[in-house]
A and B are shown apart, each in its own frame.
Chain A
Amino acid sequence: MTAPAATGAPRLGGRGRSVRYRLNAWLPVLATCVILVLMLGAGQAVFGDFVSPRLLSSLFDNNPFLIVLAVGMTFVILTGGIDLSVGSVIAFSGLLGAQLFAAGWPAAAVLPLMVLSGTLIGAVVGVMVAFFDIQPFIASLAGMFLARGLAYVTSLKALPIHNDALNWLLGTSWGVGDWTTTPGVLLSLLLVAIAFWVFHYTRFGRTVYAVGGNEQSARLMGLAVTRTVFLVYLISGTCAGIAGVLFASYTQSGNPLAGLGMELQAIAAVVIGGTILTGGSGYVIGSLFGVLVYGLIQISITYMSVDSWWTYIVIGVMLLLFVVFQRAIAARRRR
């Protein structure tokens, strides 16, 4: 092809567009940030002594497992899917670990197995969605029941876990002054960083966005759509397995009732973080902020010493506002 780049060719659109495009795409994430800051400010104004290194540290310390779940969920939601199985996987993986520890297995074997149990459930859901074309809602609902059932098969009642390696994950506190963190929190942040790199610097990551944006187009572009969809659920399951390890470390036990409804908390965090449920648009950083907003609401409710179900009401209102906000942005883009 030798056609010269016609020098007189009119430039279509302006330079400014790319800046505005990025701003537009990041707008929901920025909005979540702004809300986080506003909430911190409001807390400071109302309670006086609210914002402190202790509070900021505990925002992360309380919910590392939710951060990990939200990372996996971001992959799934960006393709336009949903994964309801992750909460049950936490219970299954925790109990599996508890039983294996009780049987005297070493942590070096148990922890990978706990993670792999999530990968397995993710693989089952992924096969159903990607290869048998079953709707993600139904497939992951099946995965949810399967994992919950397996948890009960593993043990009918909660089992305590006494293991130093597991304890180390969230029991160790590193810090400078009042700023503290745990290996588990660092692990969850590391996963966010890895996910960001995967999303934005690998073909797989870009294919995730393309599939969510327009699956038909992605297929016609010759992208590996089926494989990508499968991998997305595999990743989400694996993240749920990791979250199971962190949750077991957090509670020092395995419990067949663990993680009830946590899949919905993860979805809420992802949506509050600006990812659109139909896929194709959103950032994993946003999901991290979504979890922080969620955690901050929990802490504020505790500060106000009102009943904890107010958390749900606030989260519900916030979700509604966010969905309306996203619709407004989408409508503006269409114009």
Chain B
Amino acid sequence: MSIHSAPPAAPVLEVVDADVRFVGQVALEKAALRLFPGEVHSLMGENGAGKSTLIKAITGAQRLDGGRITLRGRPVAFSRPAEAAAAGIAAVYQEIELVPELSVAENVMLGDEPRRFGGIDWRETRRQASRALAQLGIDLDPASSLRSHSPAVQQLVAIARAVRTRPDVLVLDEPTSSLDQDEVAQLFDIMRGLKAEGVAILFISHFLEQVYEIADRLTILRNGRLVGEYLTADILRIELVERMLGTTVGALEDLQDRGREEPAAPDARVVVQATGLGRSNRIAPFDLTVREGEIVGFAGLLGSGRTDAARLVGGVDRPDGGTLRIEDRTLRSPSPRAAISAGAVYSSEDRTSEGIIAQLSVRENILLGLQGQLGWRHRMSWSRQRELAGSYIEALGIAPADPEAVAGTLSGGNQQKVLLARWLALAPRLLILDEPTRGIDVGAKAEIQRQIVSLAENGMSVIFISAELDEVLRLGDRIVVLRDREVVGVVDGDLLTPDQLLALIAQGRRRWLSRSPRAARTSSTWRGSRASRTRRCRASSTRTRTSSRRPGPGSMRPSGSCATGRRRRRAPW
């Protein structure tokens, strides 16, 4: 724990020794945060670091179980967001918390409309809303419907609403997640303006690039604890990632045990071939090949697009473009059903809402997938059901070894094994496991890792996603690295080293080009940027590609590169 380089002034907001406990879980433990007037401060952390709990505590949506919050030197304890807002803490959330049915002016002014003769004075309301928007440099017809504007403009309206009351602290929770580069630039201009006026801005973003561009200082949380507070200029990107992940290059290099003796043969049969698969706003188009018996790890920070990429390969989400071939079958309109019948299964990272059905028994949970494949007319006999469930319970060591136990009562690790059993019962060719080891104890973790290795040795292909780098390193034959919603590299063989991996996760620039200002205003999705990207590809494919975009010296095979993408798309299949 280290506190560095505080600006001379007193903090406007200070969180000290904050504890928040949920049932059986510690969300925050002695967490701390200091915000000074006129700074942009970034709160960094991976999944479960406690970022959102801390934000909720500051904005009055969550009470502290211990510790204290002081605002302008006075202790405060908010019980509702409205109280925090009244005290000068405004927040803008990723999900734009406005009412799209109403006009822009109303969304800015709602709850504080000027009145005349006992009724709302609409002229004055529109005038004041216009002024609030103009102060941010936004020129917008206040009488227009909020719904008619792009998410980026809506986001700006939300900020205008938040800063209209001149707060001391402005919390921006992932405001940039649906904005393109020009829109981000406009937002940053606005943030710099507010900063100059002395507003303390707490800025949360998964994009390291943006953090380094705008944040003066940053606070890192991990597992609910404070890791440290740094000047952004003082901390290297790679150090930042190490501290967020809690691993260092040194520690990772000790992992000599790679788990697998023989990696899959490089010329094994191709099981999955994704070409130019992408989804606007979620993940840029990428290519991926998975061979028989291969374990492919997906590595990247939270919000890097690792889950989105896996969901596209698993047929869960519908891609905007590209092709997906599983076992020589091209999925024309991907759906979980189509993918499963082709031989690919996706096990979600969200065990409770997209996995286990808590009220059903272990047996029923295991057999759901199989029953779904068989169809309801082919009922399995009771004895066959028990036999199948029993065999998986034994093979995976599910405890309690009772097929009739209610799945919701099992521990996380055992629930994960039940899910694994559900998918294994379908005898898939490709198993996609999204964070199968999250939130389970060390023993169960090791057990699941062993199972994955033995499955791969028996010829099953596995895509394995984990937030823990050591796990990905140990299991993966090949690792696909994602950053800022883009596949930025594929590492394998001797090049699969911790520092390579960390460097790739941390470094580099977003590669897609900025769009023309005109296009930026009409749409905030990626569609436009992808179009311009394609344009660039066309232009550059005639020239020799330089290696400048490759972070390592000739070590990476940048997947989703334009040249290969184009060539493959032309291939006659």
On A, residues with C-beta under 8 Å from B are 1-6, 9-15, 17-18, 20-22, 24-25, 197, 200-203, 206-207, 209-210, 212-214, 216-223, 280-281, 333
Does chain A have a CB within 8 A of B138? yes
Using an 8 Å CB-CB cutoff, how does the interface string of B154-167 with A read, 1 for contact, 0 for none?
00000001010010
Question: Which A residues are CB-close (under 8 A) to B110?
Answer: 206-207, 210, 218, 221, 223
Does chain A have a CB within 8 A of B81? yes
Query: CA separation between A261 and B163, bound complex, in Å?
Result: 49
Q: Which of A11, A20, A213, A222 has the most CB of B within 10 A?
A: A222
Query: CA separation between A22 and B102, bound complex, in Å?
Result: 10
Using CB atoms, name the residue of chain A closest to B115: A203
B150 to chain A, nearest CB (A): 8
Contact B145–A25 (Cβ < 8 Å): yes
B501 to chain A, nearest CB (A): 39
Q: A13-B144, A18-B143, A218-B110 are in contact. List 8 more A-B contacts (CB 8 A).
A: A1-B135, A10-B521, A13-B149, A15-B141, A206-B106, A213-B99, A214-B100, A220-B81
Contact B193–A222 (Cβ < 8 Å): no
Query: CA separation between A17 and B153, bound complex, in Å?
Result: 14
Query: CA separation between A219 and B95, bound complex, in Å?
Result: 14
Beyond A5-B135, A221-B110, is A206–B102 a contact (Cβ under 8 Å)? yes
Contact B140–A12 (Cβ < 8 Å): yes
Question: Which A residues are CB-close (under 8 A) to B120?
Answer: 200-203, 206
B57 to chain A, nearest CB (A): 15
Query: CA separation between A219 and B91, bound complex, in Å?
Result: 13
Contact A17–B137 (Cβ < 8 Å): no
Question: Which A residues are CB-close (under 8 A) to B119?
Answer: 197, 201-202
Beyond A1-B163, A219-B81, A280-B101, is A17–B148 a contact (Cβ under 8 Å)? yes
Using CB atoms, name the residue of chain B closest to A5: B134
A-B pairs, 7 with minimum CB distance:
A201-B119, A5-B134, A18-B143, A222-B82, A213-B99, A21-B145, A17-B144
A132 to chain B, nearest CB (A): 18
Q: Which residue of B101, B144, B166 is within 8 Å of A213 (Cβ)?
A: B101
Query: CA separation between A202 and B136, bound complex, in Å?
Result: 28
Chain B contacts with A in 45-101, Cβ cutoff 8 A: 80-82, 85-86, 91, 93, 97-101
Contact A209–B85 (Cβ < 8 Å): no
Using an 8 Å CB-CB cutoff, how does the interface string of B519-561 with A read, 1 for contact, 0 for none?
0010000000000000000000000000000000000000000
Contact B81–A13 (Cβ < 8 Å): no
A299 to chain B, nearest CB (A): 34
Does chain A have a CB within 8 A of B258? no
Contact B139–A11 (Cβ < 8 Å): yes
Does chain A have a CB within 8 A of B113? yes
A276 to chain B, nearest CB (A): 9
Does chain A have a CB within 8 A of B386? no
Using CB atoms, name the residue of chain B closest to A2: B197
Beyond A25-B145, A203-B120, A222-B81, is A18–B103 a contact (Cβ under 8 Å)? yes
Contact B137–A222 (Cβ < 8 Å): no
Could you pull out 6 A-B pairs where Cβ atoms are within 8 angstroms? A9-B137, A21-B148, A203-B120, A206-B106, A206-B120, A214-B100
A229 to chain B, nearest CB (A): 15
Question: Which B residues are CB-close (under 8 A) to A222?
Answer: 80-82, 85-86, 111
A111 to chain B, nearest CB (A): 27
Contact A210–B102 (Cβ < 8 Å): yes
Question: Which A residues are CB-close (under 8 A) to B85?
Answer: 222
Chain B interface category by residue count: 35 or more
Chain B contacts with A in 164-207, Cβ cutoff 8 A: 166, 193-194, 197
Query: CA separation between A17 and B146, bound complex, in Å?
Result: 10
Question: Which A residues are CB-close (under 8 A) to B86?
Answer: 222
Q: Which of A15, A22, A25, A217 has the most CB of B within 10 A?
A: A217
Question: Which B residues are CB-close (under 8 A) to A281?
Answer: 101
Q: Which residue of B102, B115, B145 is within 8 Å of A17 (Cβ)?
A: B145
Question: Which B residues are CB-close (under 8 A) to A13?
Answer: 140-141, 144, 148-149, 153
Question: Which A residues are CB-close (under 8 A) to B118?
Answer: 201
Contact A221–B97 (Cβ < 8 Å): yes
Q: Which of B81, B85, B148, B521 has the most CB of A within 10 A?
A: B148
A23 to chain B, nearest CB (A): 10
Does chain A have a CB within 8 A of B147? yes
Question: Which B residues are CB-close (under 8 A) to A201?
Answer: 118-120
Contact A280–B99 (Cβ < 8 Å): yes
Query: CA separation between A22 and B517, bound complex, in Å?
Result: 28
Beyond A12-B521, A222-B86, is A1–B166 a contact (Cβ under 8 Å)? yes
Contact B144–A21 (Cβ < 8 Å): yes
Question: Which A residues are CB-close (under 8 A) to B163?
Answer: 1
Contact B111–A223 (Cβ < 8 Å): yes
Question: Which A residues are CB-close (under 8 A) to B144?
Answer: 13, 17-18, 21
Using an 8 Å CB-CB cutoff, how does the interface string of B102-137 with A read, 1 for contact, 0 for none?
110010001101010011100000000000001111
Q: Which of A2, A9, A220, A333 has the most CB of B within 10 A?
A: A220
Contact B81–A11 (Cβ < 8 Å): no
Using CB atoms, name the residue of chain A closest to B61: A220
Query: CA separation between A280 and B535, bound complex, in Å?
Result: 42
Q: Which of A4, A13, A207 has the most CB of B within 10 A?
A: A13
Query: CA separation between A217 and B161, bound complex, in Å?
Result: 12
B285 to chain A, nearest CB (A): 24
Beyond A21-B144, A333-B147, is A218–B99 a contact (Cβ under 8 Å)? yes
Contact A21–B135 (Cβ < 8 Å): no
Contact B101–A221 (Cβ < 8 Å): no
Question: Which A residues are CB-close (under 8 A) to B91?
Answer: 220
B203 to chain A, nearest CB (A): 18
Using CB atoms, name the residue of chain A closest to B59: A220
Question: Which B residues are CB-close (under 8 A) to A223?
Answer: 110-111
Using CB atoms, name the residue of chain A closest to B136: A3
Question: Which A residues are CB-close (under 8 A) to B137?
Answer: 3-6, 9
Chain B contacts with A in 452-495, Cβ cutoff 8 A: none
Query: CA separation between A202 and B85, bound complex, in Å?
Result: 22
Contact A214–B138 (Cβ < 8 Å): no
Q: Which of B102, B113, B147, B163 has the most CB of A within 10 A?
A: B102
Query: CA separation between A319 and B101, bound complex, in Å?
Result: 23
Contact B517–A207 (Cβ < 8 Å): no
Query: CA separation between A203 and B113, bound complex, in Å?
Result: 7
Q: Which residue of B134, B136, B143, B517 is within 8 Å of A21 (Cβ)?
A: B143
Query: CA separation between A171 and B119, bound complex, in Å?
Result: 35
Contact B111–A221 (Cβ < 8 Å): yes
Question: Which A residues are CB-close (under 8 A) to B193?
Answer: 1, 3
Beyond A5-B134, A219-B81, is A209–B101 a contact (Cβ under 8 Å)? yes
A6 to chain B, nearest CB (A): 4
B193 to chain A, nearest CB (A): 4
B246 to chain A, nearest CB (A): 32
Contact B99–A1 (Cβ < 8 Å): no
Question: Which A residues are CB-close (under 8 A) to B148?
Answer: 13, 17, 20-21
Contact A1–B197 (Cβ < 8 Å): yes
Query: CA separation between A5 and B160, bound complex, in Å?
Result: 13
A72 to chain B, nearest CB (A): 21
Question: Which B residues are CB-close (under 8 A) to A206?
Answer: 102, 106, 110, 113, 120
Contact A216–B97 (Cβ < 8 Å): yes
Contact A209–B99 (Cβ < 8 Å): yes
Query: CA separation between A200 and B106, bound complex, in Å?
Result: 11
Query: CA separation between A281 and B102, bound complex, in Å?
Result: 9
Question: Which B residues are CB-close (under 8 A) to A212?
Answer: 101
B259 to chain A, nearest CB (A): 44
Using CB atoms, name the residue of chain A closest to B91: A220
B174 to chain A, nearest CB (A): 15
Question: Which B residues are CB-close (under 8 A) to A202?
Answer: 119-120
Beyond A15-B141, A210-B110, A222-B82, is A217–B101 a contact (Cβ under 8 Å)? no
Contact A220–B97 (Cβ < 8 Å): yes
